[in-house]
Amino acid sequence: MRGKKRSGQIIILTALTMAFIILSTTIYIYQISQNLHPEDQHLHLRGFIGNVKIASRILMMGILANISNGGENGSLRYNLQRLRSFIESNYHRGRCTLSFRLCEVSPYSSGLWIFWGTDGFGVSSAKVDFSLNLADEREEVIVEYSINITTHILISATSKRVRFPGFYIIRVTIRVFNEGSPALCKNLTIYYTDYTGNWREAGSLRFYTLKDYGNGTYSARFLIFEPTGVLNRKVRVLCFDRREIRVIATTTCERI
Amino acid sequence: MHGCRLGQIRVLEAFLAVIVVFGALLLSRPIYTSYDDSVDQEILYSIGMNVLMHLDQDGDLGRLISQRDWTEISSRLSILLPIGVSYNLTVYDEELNILNNSPILSGDLNAKGVVSIQYVVVDRESLNLYIVRLQLAWVK
């Protein structure tokens, strides 16, 4: 009698254990199936955010190249507005809002800082802060990022009188930077002032060499003939980096 | 007589247990299959997005689109995508008109799990904006 009672208890316990195992397995499988969608969603979000960052960066490079080559300053705002409406209207996974703010912190004005100085420093730069807001029925993501495209050059020049009267060797050292790191340039043109004060292109001279060190540093050397010496001779470098952004810097030759 | 009944109950219990186990396996199978498909699609999406970002480095993709150099785009895609992935690329302009007059594709996209990636492209020189749609599938 006691054995039969115990057998019944064991059956009940076994049934409860089995029910518990089945229930936990069902919950586990349900959780797995629920997790499939958000991961997929995050992957798409990450991809889209990366795409927007790259697109805005490339657009800003193009705009800065355009402005530094004589384009209107207002094209920065206009083209970023174009990009904003294009991205917002082509996002189909919810609501997308892309906003931007042109940098107004000195030395920037309307997102631009273009300074081609006479002390051996020249810079062309654009800086914009972006905010990307993506929302669907599940969540809302806000990404803030800043893009700064800057090309600057540093130049120095020396003028040395050679043994033959009226001949001078001019040496110019140019260093090119993209976003503060040494960068290669696409095209370099060097000008110097003659005794009348007119600008002349050094590349057209017979004795002109330009050396590329491959690390963003260039040095030019040319020989000029001028019977009357020139005091405070100026040298100007016009540089196009590999992104077609134009920078100019002018300096005065140091006599040695 | 009593022992015989007990034996029958045991046999019935065994059958019931077998039914429960196979039932559970059958029920969970579609979920795992869909999980596998989803992982496959995630991998395809990651591959496609990485390839497009790589192609777009320094604005190369925008330049090639502006030059309408579909052959070059196709050959670069073929090099960058792994073997066993077929693709079809469609390029749209700002008004969403299709720009590529010749198909940019490789392989057959009639497979079940086709992944579609939309990517915004900017041409640095002309400042034109484009949308490219890259469809990818594993070759079965």
Q: Which residues of chain A have pLDDT under 50?
A: none
- pLDDT at position B3, please? 60
Indicate the SS3 state at residue B125.
coil
Indicate the SS3 state at residue B43.
helix
Q: Does B42 sit within 8 Å of A40, measured CB to CB? A: yes
- pLDDT at position A5, please? 58
Q: Is the pLDDT of residue B26 over 80?
A: no
| Strands lying side by side in the sheet with A234-241 | A199-201, A185-193, A234-241, A246-252
pTM confidence score: 0.81
Q: Does A33 sit within 8 Å of B34, measured CB to CB? A: yes
> Six-digit token pair at B140?
């079965």
The pLDDT tens digits of the residues spanning B45-94 come to 999 999 999 999 889 999 999 999 999 999 999 999 998 899 999 999 99
- pLDDT at position B38, please? 67
- A47 CA to chain B: closest CA distance, Å? 6
Q: Which residue has the tokens 């940098």?
A: A103
CA torsion A23-A27-A29-A35 (nearest 10°) is 180
- pLDDT at position A161, please? 87
> What DSSP string runs through A31-72?
HHHHHHHHHHHHHHHHHHHHHHHHHHHHHHHHHHHHHHTT--
Residues of B with CB below 8 A from A52's CB?
120
- pLDDT at position A141, please? 92
Look over chain B and give the mean of its residue pLDDT values, rounded to a whole number: 85
Residues of B with CB below 8 A from A29's CB?
28, 31
- pLDDT at position A65, please? 97
Write the residue in A32, A43, A86 that is nearest to B31 by C-beta: A32
Segment B11-33 shows an average pLDDT of 70
The pLDDT tens digits of the residues spanning A38-50 come to 556 688 899 999 9
CB B123 within 8 A of CB B62: yes
- Angle in degrees, CA B10, B14, B19, rounded to 5: 145
Altogether, the residues listed in chain A come to a count of 256
